[in-house]
Structure 1
Amino acid sequence: MPLRPTDSSALLIDGKLVPGSGGTFEIFDPSTEELLGYAADATSADMDAAIDAARRAFDETGWSRDHAFRARCLRQLRDALRGHIEELREITIAEVGAPRFLTSAAHLEGPVDDLLWFADLAESYAWKEDLGNASPMGIPTHRYLLKEATGVVGAITPWNFPHQINFAKIGPALAAGNTVVLKPAPDTPWCAALVGKVAAEETDIPPGVLNIVTSSDHGIGAQLAEDPRVDLISFTGSTATGRSVMRAASESLKKVFLELGGKSAFLVLDDADLRGACSMAGFMVCTHAGQGCAITTRLVVPRARYDEAVEITAETMRGLRPGDPRDPGTVCGPLISARQRERVEGYIRLAAEEGGTIVVGGGRPAEHDHGFFVEPTLISGVPDSARVAQEEIFGPVLVILPHDGDDDAIRIANDSPYGLSGAVYGTDPDRIAHVVAGVRTGTLGVNGGIWYAADAPFGGYKQSGIGREMGVAGFEEYLETKLVAEPAH
């Protein structure tokens, strides 16, 4: 039965659930291509009202100074969302195409529960630091630091992991004392709209502190980045769009956090369990149809065992057929849209044109007449300079490359404009340490170690972004530092 959560199709502005001035826009199920329903379509006037509400709530209330109250509101929000978890799960599967098994982890339940970590941090954080006495220029002075909220936060989020990314911004921004205007992607508005409804009706979050503005107009996001009433922009998305956001924000010199693209490398050293490592690499790139910026999409293996590695990886990927995301056994669901499928298919064609071999996949699965599915695809025989080995594809496409030793593996990993994530498999601790030190990336998993958690900072080097999300480092992105100096007694 099609979902029609009409109560979730409203904007949250100044504490009220209101319709979009632009009417509504259609939402489609990427696994069936069927119409799911409609979302509120905000206009520039709606965004202006949301920014104004956030500005007033920050400037005219005590929200930013009452740490205990903020913590209580975040715990209320988490508990209220838990009460709607099955409704949120069905919406997430339907509009995102998220595999059901992932909604018990990073696609829903994990991010909701992470709000508790930020609530606790709001109460335990050292908001004041005493620097002691000194005598600058011979004048006895006592100094201390105050950590204060930045102000109004504009959060612009993508469609691939909407809950994880929405809460990774809302949680620390609110915990730090900011007010927020969230502009979610038009592909997945219901995930955010239901959060707005719950926040408005089931928490004590004051009017204007959290505003959620869904819209089919990408210009609404640019408006948020440009507006001088907004003090900080937190953006997650493509590197190209991140550049545009940064340019827009530069006019008012607001703070900017960017979490952008990746082309992460999975390095297999010659002393590793080749079967275990290659099987894991094949599985990871198929998860959520490869629609994750930190998913490892370059598998780098010892040249002497290249053919063996290709066959092992191909065997894993052949067994992961795209399926209905409602099925608990599905790992590889649909791509988000026809446009994204065309993009992925274009890269697969390009790989063949560049002399590569399509070892597995390469087309649309015959068993699906509808839905934006692409077969898990393994590409061999291209150099690391090939476009398919350099550019972010954002689909279930893995490129396998040979290396000539640990230093060459490091070179290949770093031969990218990105530096978001990665993995290394091996057994010698000294060699592992050498690789970890050499790879220029924001997160790195060793032999299956999990780097994703509320208390662990996430972000990238180079064109993968600026700043960190999650953890204390991510929380502090939303703070300013004030030095106070007074006469020493």
Structure 2
Amino acid sequence: MSPQDNGSTAVVDGATSTGVTKPLLIDGELVTLDKTFPSYNPATGELYGHAPDAGVDEAEAAVAAARRAFDTTTWATDAEFRANCLDQLYQALQDNKEELRELLMGEVGATRVLTHGNQLEAPLEIVKYYADLLRTYPLTEELGEIEIRGQQHRRWIDKEAAGVVAAITAYNYPVQLAMAKLAPALAAGCTVVLKGAPDTPLVTNALGEIIKEHTDIPAGVVNVLSSSGIPVGEVMTTHPEVDVVTFTGSTPVGAQIMAAAAATMKKVFTELGGKSALIVLDDADLDMVAQFAAFSICSHAGQGCALTTRLVVPREKHDEIVARVAGFMANVPFGDPTNPKMYMGPLISAKQRDKVDGLVQRAIEAGATLATGGKAVEPGYFYEPTLLANVDPSSEIAQEEAFGPVLAVIPHDGDDDAVRIANDSKYGLSGGVLTADEQRGIAIGRRIRTGTFSINGGNYFTPDMPFGGYKQSGIGREMSAHGLEEFLETKAYAAAVKA
């Protein structure tokens, strides 16, 4: 049954619900539902809008549309058309980025300054990168002829689209996460069912609206769902017609998705949690340390899986570094995300704010020293930039992802000890080192078990660099040519050559 035939759905006809609303995209049609769920402005705690609350019927319809588009159209085989559609999508996103900016500030709590970076404008370049890459990436590799039992055989390898992709994103960077999945999947020739996070559904749905109204991407190639419940995710991760699952979110949920997808042997890759360490060596510039550490942890209120949330410092310089970092953190401007002077916005929800506060209070009870912050701020879901000193590297706050503006300072006793502390984590997403000696920093980086690593503030987060983790931070890579290859299958050919 198509969503238009379902009694609980209706094609968009201009009707709106309270506040902002954005439709689903299913099989080339923008769809509203009678059943909706609320989205809140985290800076005020007030209702921001409503999103269609898709259920099993809509999820089944979206998967069926993606399957049909993959199996019966030329999308998977016409690379030139795909590249042209990605060009259109890039331009459409640029043309509509002010609407997306408002949604990011209002629904996600992203500050205006961050929308000029990794929340919005930087992720749009992912689309352009894959449009350009598709035009040069070798989808066929010739291996030459070989003689076997007196017969010549020509051999080659083709890279083919993997099929129907279920893409599930987190709430913290909805545009970036969507583009890092959608753009390479489309470049590869896959069709996609994209589901945004329940906390930030409107931003993701807006992407579907842009695709429908401003590109020639065929019906069914991209489907976008919003849902408040678990059943839609279950359909996407277990449906026999889905070939690939890509998920960004928490490690426990990622493990559940891998288990669910195993029954049908889906290709699964994940980008999960992190507890990254920023190592300070004894020759580092302490002013640089203080500024870099403070502003990193306060970026998007600490709601970033790759942020360095552990500051591992020389024991003899611990107190001096704590004082300097605390000074910077106490002066980080936070508040109304629409105010261009604000660097940090709110946490996504009261639930997340309470989780962060609980971790902080338990850390203090366990012996950590509160150097600054440690309080919720209202209205909205703000939490003060918080610095905890003298943290035990085995304690909860040093091991568990807080996803808030909380930095744990841990003393080390030399390079070897710093490496040991940094690697003492179930996660392996990112990390960094600050030092006056770049070669010393590189040597440290090669000993750290993470998928990305920054030396003296180097920025690895660009479309042409692979992003992903070791250990429980996930499997696979997003962005770069590596990200494209996650959505490709390898087929080997051999043809007997006539004499």
TM range (shorter): over 0.9
Structure 1 stretch displaced more, 288-297 or 218-227: 218-227
Distance 1:432 1:137 in 2: 55
* 2:19 and 2:47 in contact (8 A); partners too: no
Distance 1:232 1:41 in 2: 24
Q: Percent identity?
A: 51
Residue identity in the other structure for 2:218:
P
* 1:26 and 1:37 in contact (8 A); partners too: yes
Distance 1:161 1:363 in 2: 24
Which of 379, 389, 394 is matched with 2:398 structurally?
Answer: 389
* 1:64 and 1:178 in contact (8 A); partners too: yes
Distance 2:214 2:340 in 1: 30
- Matched ranges for 1:70-89 at <5 A: 70-89=82-101
Q: CA shift at 1:347, angstroms? A: 0.2
Which residue in the other structure is 2:175 paired with?
Answer: 163
- Matched ranges for 1:38-437 at <5 A: 38-136=50-148, 139-365=151-377, 369-437=378-446
TM-score (structure 1 length as normaliser):
0.96
Aligned residues: 483
Q: CA shift at 1:278, angstroms? A: 2.5
Which residue in the other structure is 2:31 paired with?
Answer: 18
Distance 1:363 1:159 in 2: 23
Distance 2:496 2:455 in 1: 51
Q: CA shift at 1:450, angstroms? A: 0.5
TM-score (structure 2 length as normaliser):
0.95
Distance 1:51 1:199 in 2: 17
Which residue in the other structure is 2:478 paired with?
Answer: 469
Distance 1:381 1:251 in 2: 46
Gaps of 5+ in 2: 1-15
* 2:279 and 2:434 in contact (8 A); partners too: yes
Distance 2:49 2:125 in 1: 28
* 2:442 and 2:455 in contact (8 A); partners too: no
2:135 aligned counterpart, secondary structure: helix
Q: Please tell me the root mean square deviation across aligned C-alpha atoms, in Å.
A: 1.4
Gaps of 5+ in 1: none
Which of 483, 486, 489 is matched with 2:495 structurally?
Answer: 486
2:245 aligned counterpart, secondary structure: strand
2:407 aligned counterpart, secondary structure: strand
Structure-2 change in CA distance of 1:313 and 1:137 (3 Å): farther
Q: CA shift at 1:133, angstroms? A: 1.6
Which residue in the other structure is 2:458 paired with?
Answer: 449
Q: CA shift at 1:27, angstroms? A: 1.1
1:132 aligned counterpart, secondary structure: strand
Residue identity in the other structure for 1:412:
I
Q: CA shift at 1:410, angstroms? A: 0.8
1:154 aligned counterpart, secondary structure: strand
Structure-2 change in CA distance of 1:330 and 1:187 (3 Å): same
Structure-2 change in CA distance of 1:436 and 1:136 (3 Å): farther
Q: CA shift at 1:219, angstroms? A: 2.6
Distance 1:169 1:268 in 2: 34
Distance 1:397 1:7 in 2: 32
* 1:47 and 1:224 in contact (8 A); partners too: yes
Structure-2 change in CA distance of 1:8 and 1:141 (3 Å): farther
Which residue in the other structure is 2:39 paired with?
Answer: 27
Structure-2 change in CA distance of 1:380 and 1:15 (3 Å): same
Q: After superposition, what is the alpha-carbon deviation per residue over 1:145-191, rounded to whole angstroms, capped at 9, x for unaligned?
A: 00000000000000000000001000000010000000110111111
1:257 aligned counterpart, secondary structure: strand
Distance 1:73 1:436 in 2: 39
